[in-house]
C-alpha cells in the first residue's frame, strides 16, 4: 500500500515542501530511503524500528521503499523521523487519517518520544504560505510554531499520543499561543553606559550609531575602554519589533542556536567572533550552506575586536553584506540567501604595540611596522564605516572619580525617539516631510568656520559642542508626542498577521524589507530625505575636496547628518549636523 505525508525541508530561511512517500510490498524485510537523504535521514529506519515497537506499534516486516520528493532537493537532519513513521503506519494500515492539509516534522527518540527540532519557525511560515492548515510538531516546539497565525498547531509529546489523537481515541488540543505585543521586562545587559568613565566623545558616537544603525570603528591604546563601549551598544538599542524578533528567531532556529524553552528571541543579538574565525564562519558556508556570524548578528551588533588581526580575505568578505544587508552562499550542492542587516562595531590599536600617539607611553614600533599594521584594513572596508574616532586613554581623575556617566536607559529613550522618527519618515508620514531648514545664526557660522579650519590644519577632530546646542520643538517632536521614547512600543500581533497576508517572507532576497533606519536608506531615499540648505551644501562641497571623500562616503555623511538631526529633534539638516558628521570621517592620505 502507498501512503503520502507532507513535510518540509529548509533552503536558507525558506521552507520547501517535501512529500514523504512510503510503499510497502511483499519481499524480504528491508527498508530503503531515496531522494537525496543525508546520513541522519538514512539512519531514521533504525531509530523507527525501535521507536514504533516501544510505542506499542508494529514495524512491518516487509520491503519498504521511502521516497523523499522532490528527489533533487537535499534532505538533512532527523526531522523526517515523524513523517516517515506516520507514512509507515498508514501504508501498513495501522493508521487511517486524512493528513492532506497537514505538514509533519519532528525527531523521534528510541522510546517513542518526540525531541526538540530546529527550524520550526520557517517551516510554520512555509506551511501557511502554501495553504496548509495544520502543523504537527514535537511538544517542545509548539510555542515556536504557534508564532505564525493561521496555522493549527498540534503538539505531540510522543508517537503513542499522536497516533491516539489521529485515531480519535484521545484528543490533543491545538496550541493557541501568540507572542505578546510587547516585552514585560527589558532584557538584562552585561554592560551599561553608567559604568563608563569619561570618553564623552565615544559615548556620543555610540549614541549616534545606535540611533541610525551606523557602523562604528574605535581606535585607541590598550585599556582605553573600546571593548567596554562596544558591549554597551546593545543596552541603548531600541527593543526588537515583533517582525524583527521573528526574523532573528528564524535565523537562530536554522543555526540550531534556539533553546527549546525560548520560542521567541527578544534581545538584540551581540556576536563577537574571535579574530581566528574563517570566512565560512563569518559569512556563512559549508558544503550545505549554513548562516555565519553576519546572519546570527541580524538586527543586532557584530563586534570585531582587534580588527587588523583578522585575515585580510575574511575582512574583505564583509564588503557585500555591509552594502546589501543579505548574503548569498553559493556552493555546488546549492545556494541559500540569509539576512545580514547588522551594525558593525570594530576596535583596533593604532600599531602592533598599541601605543602609537599615546600621551603616556612611548611607541616601540618602527614607522614601517605602523604603516603595515594600518594597511591590514583596506580602504574600501573603512569607507563603509560611518563613524571612525580615536578613543584616548582615560584620565586618572575621571577614572578614580565617583561621578557616573549617563545610564543606558536614558540614552536609549533618545535613541528610540530618533528611530521612531526615521521609521515614520521612511514609511511616508507626511507630517515629517516638507520642512525647510532655516538660518541657525552664529551656531552655523561657527560650525562651518571650525570645521574648515580643522580640515585645513590637522584633519577632522570629533567634538561634542554641537550635541549640547538646544533647539526649538519641531514638528517631528509634535508628531511623536515630544517626550523621549514616547512612541516606544511593539507592533501588535495583528499587524504581523497582516504582514504575513501581504506576502511577508523571512528571506530578504525574495521580499526586500523597507528601510527602518537611516543607515538602511538607498540612494533614492537619501535624495528625498537628506536635503541640505545652502550653508550645509557649501560645507559638504568643501569637505569633499579637503578630505577626498568618495561617492559612497558622500552618501554616508548625508545619512549620518540625518541621524544627528533626528537626535536633535529637527526636521531640517543643519550645517552644524553636517560638520559633526564630517568630523567622524578620516582624512585621506
Task: Check which CATH number belongs to the domain holding 77 and give it.
Answer: 3.30.230.10
Number of domains the chain contains: 2
SS3 at position 29: coil
Q: What is the pLDDT of residue 542?
A: 92
Instruction: Give the closest residue to 411 by CA, choosing from 195, 207, 191, 201.
Output: 207
Successive 10-residue mean pLDDT values, the chain, 589 residues: 92 89 93 93 94 94 95 90 96 92 96 93 91 94 89 94 94 75 61 84 94 95 90 93 88 89 88 95 88 95 96 95 91 83 95 89 92 93 94 80 81 94 81 38 44 43 39 36 37 44 41 77 91 90 88 93 94 92 76
Instruction: Tell me how crowded residue 229 is: count the other CB atoms within 10 A of its CB.
Output: 23
Query: Which residue range is the domain that position 442 belongs to?
Result: 193-582
Q: Which three cell numbers stand for residue 65?
A: 521503499
Q: By the 8 A CB rule, do 138 and 116 touch?
A: yes
Examine the fold and report which residue of 167, 202, 224 is the final residue of a domain before the chain moves on: 167
Is residue 39 included in any domain, yes or no?
yes
Q: Residue 271 and residue 398: Cα distance in Å, rounded?
A: 30
Q: Are residues 36 and 118 in the same domain?
A: yes
pTM above 0.85, yes or no: no
**Same domain for 197 and 85:** no
Indicate whether 539 and 463 sit together in one domain.
Answer: yes
Rounded distance, CA 160 to CA 174, Å? 17
177 domain residue, yes or no? no
pLDDT attached to residue 497: 42
Same domain, 157 and 237: no
Return the CATH number at 462: 3.40.50.300
Packing angle, helices 442-456 and 575-582, rounded to 10: 20
Which residue among 129, 151, 167 closes a domain?
A: 167
Q: Is residue 305 part of a domain?
A: yes
Q: What angle do CA 300, 306, 311 make, to 5 degrees?
A: 95
HSE on the CB side for 545, CA within 13 Å? 7
CA gap 271, 298 in Å, rounded: 10
Longest CA span, the chain: 94
**Residue 187 placed within a domain:** no
pLDDT of residue 440: 38
Q: Are residues 47 and 123 in the same domain?
A: yes
Is residue 475 domain-resident? yes
Q: At which residue does the C-alpha cell 580643522 appear?
A: 454
**Within this chain, do residues 412 and 544 fall inside the same structural domain, yes or no?**
yes
The distance in angstroms from the start CA to the end CA of the chain is 76
| Last-in-domain residue among 150, 167, 184 | 167
Same-domain status, 148 and 229? no
pLDDT at 515: 82
**Cell representation of residue 134:** 495544520
Which residues, listed in sequence order, are joined to residue 22 by a DSSP beta bridge?
A: 3, 66
Q: Helices 408-426 and 226-236 meet at what angle, rounded to 10?
A: 60
Q: Are residues 276 and 375 in the same domain?
A: yes
Q: Is residue 29 part of a domain?
A: yes
Same-domain check for residues 147 and 218:
no
Same domain, residue pair 300 and 379: yes
SS3 content of the chain, % helix, strand, coil (to 5): 40, 15, 45
Beta bridge partners of 344: 302
Is residue 173 a part of any domain in this protein? no
Assess if residue 341 is contained within a domain: yes
Residues 208 and 136 in one domain: no
Q: Is the dihedral of CA 400, 401, 406, 408 positive or negative?
A: positive
Q: What is the pLDDT of residue 316?
A: 95
Grid cell, residue 76, equals: 538533512
Torsion over CA: 153, 158, 164, 170 (sign): negative
Regarding whether 144 and 35 lie in a shared domain, the answer is yes
Whether the Cβ atoms of residue 37 and residue 71 lie closer than 8 Å to each other: no
Amino acid at each position: 500500500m502507498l501512503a503520502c505525508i507532507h513535510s518540509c525541508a529548509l533552503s536558507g530561511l525558506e521552507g520547501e515542501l517535501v512529500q514523504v512517500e512510503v510503499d510497502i510490498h511483499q519481499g524480504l524485510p528491508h527498508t530503503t530511503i531515496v531522494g537525496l537523504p543525508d546520513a541522519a535521514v538514512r539512519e531514521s529506519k533504525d531509530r523507527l524500528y525501535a521507536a514504533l515497537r516501544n510505542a506499542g506499534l508494529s514495524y512491518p516486516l516487509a520491503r519498504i521503499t521511502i521516497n523523499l520528493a522532490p528527489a533533487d532537493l537535499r534532505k538533512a537532519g532527523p526531522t523526517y523521523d515523524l513523517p516517515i513513521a506516520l507514512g509507515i503506519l498508514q501504508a501498513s494500515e495501522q493508521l487511517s487519517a486524512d493528513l492532506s492539509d497537514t505538514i509533519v516534522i519532528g525527531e523521534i527518540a528510541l522510546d517513542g518520544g518526540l525531541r526538540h527540532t530546529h527550524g520550526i519557525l520557517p517551516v510554520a511560515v512555509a506551511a501557511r504560505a502554501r495553504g496548509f492548515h495544520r502543523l504537527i510538531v514535537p511538544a517542545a516546539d509548539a510555542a515556536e510554531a504557534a508564532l505564525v497565525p493561521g496555522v493549527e498547531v498540534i503538539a505531540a509529546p510522543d508517537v503513542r499520543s499522536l497516533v491516539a489523537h489521529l485515531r480519535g481515541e484521545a484528543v490533543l488540543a491545538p496550541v493557541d499561543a501568540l507572542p505578546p505585543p510587547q516585552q514585560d521586562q527589558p532584557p538584562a545587559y552585561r554592560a551599561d553606559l553608567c559604568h563608563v568613565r569619561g570618553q564623552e566623545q565615544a559615548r556620543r558616537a555610540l549614541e549616534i550609531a545606535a540611533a541610525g544603525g551606523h557602523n562604528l570603528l574605535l581606535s585607541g591604546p590598550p585599556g582605553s575602554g573600546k571593548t567596554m563601549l562596544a558591549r554597551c551598544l546593545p543596552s541603548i538599542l531600541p527593543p526588537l519589533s515583533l517582525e524583527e524578533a521573528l526574523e532573528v528567531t528564524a535565523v537562530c532556529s536554522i543555526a540550531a542556536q534556539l533553546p527549546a524553552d525560548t520560542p521567541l528571541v527578544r534581545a538584540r543579538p551581540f556576536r563577537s567572533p574571535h579574530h581566528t574565525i574563517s570566512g565560512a564562519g563569518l559569512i556563512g558556508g559549508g558544503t550545505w550552506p549554513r548562516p555565519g556570524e553576519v546572519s546570527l548578528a541580524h538586527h543586532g551588533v557584530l563586534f570585531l575586536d582587534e580588527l587588523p588581526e583578522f585575515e585580510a580575505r575574511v575582512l574583505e568578505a564583509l564588503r557585500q553584506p555591509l552594502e546589501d544587508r543579505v548574503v548569498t552562499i553559493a556552493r555546488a550542492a546549492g545556494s541559500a540567501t540569509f539576512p545580514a542587516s547588522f551594525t558593525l562595531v570594530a576596535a583596533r590599536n593604532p600599531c602592533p604595540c598599541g601605543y602609537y600617539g599615546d600621551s603616556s607611553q612611548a611607541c616601540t614600533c618602527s614607522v614601517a611596522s605602523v604603516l603595515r599594521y594600518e594597511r591590514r584594513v583596506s580602504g574600501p572596508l573603512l569607507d563603509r564605516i560611518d563613524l571612525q574616532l580615536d578613543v584616548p586613554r582615560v584620565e586618572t581623575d575621571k577614572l578614580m572619580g565617583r561621578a557616573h556617566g549617563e545610564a543606558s536607559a536614558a540614552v536609549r529613550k533618545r535613541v528610540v525617539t530618533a528611530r521612531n522618527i526615521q521609521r515614520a519618515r521612511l514609511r511616508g508620514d507626511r507630517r515629517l516631510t516638507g520642512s525647510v531648514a532655516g538660518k541657525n545664526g552664529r551656531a552655523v557660522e561657527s560650525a562651518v568656520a571650525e570645521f574648515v579650519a580643522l580640515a585645513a590644519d590637522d584633519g577632522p577632530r570629533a567634538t561634542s559642542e554641537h550635541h549640547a546646542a538646544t533647539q526649538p520643538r519641531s514638528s517631528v517632536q509634535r508628531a511623536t508626542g515630544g517626550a523621549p521614547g514616547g512612541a516606544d512600543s511593539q507592533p501588535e500581533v495583528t499587524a504581523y498577521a497582516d504582514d504575513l497576508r501581504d506576502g511577508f517572507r523571512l528571506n530578504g532576497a525574495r521580499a526586500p524589507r523597507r528601510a527602518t533606519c537611516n543607515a538602511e536608506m538607498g540612494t533614492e531615499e537619501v535624495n528625498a530625505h537628506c536635503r541640505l540648505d545652502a550653508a550645509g551644501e557649501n560645507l559638504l562641497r568643501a569637505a569633499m575636496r579637503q578630505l577626498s571623500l568618495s561617492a559612497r562616503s558622500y552618501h554616508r555623511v548625508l545619512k549620518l547628518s540625518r541621524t544627528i538631526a533626528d537626535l536633535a529633534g529637527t526636521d531640517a539638516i543643519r550645517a552644524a549636523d553636517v560638520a559633526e558628521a564630517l568630523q567622524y570621517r578620516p582624512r585621506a592620505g
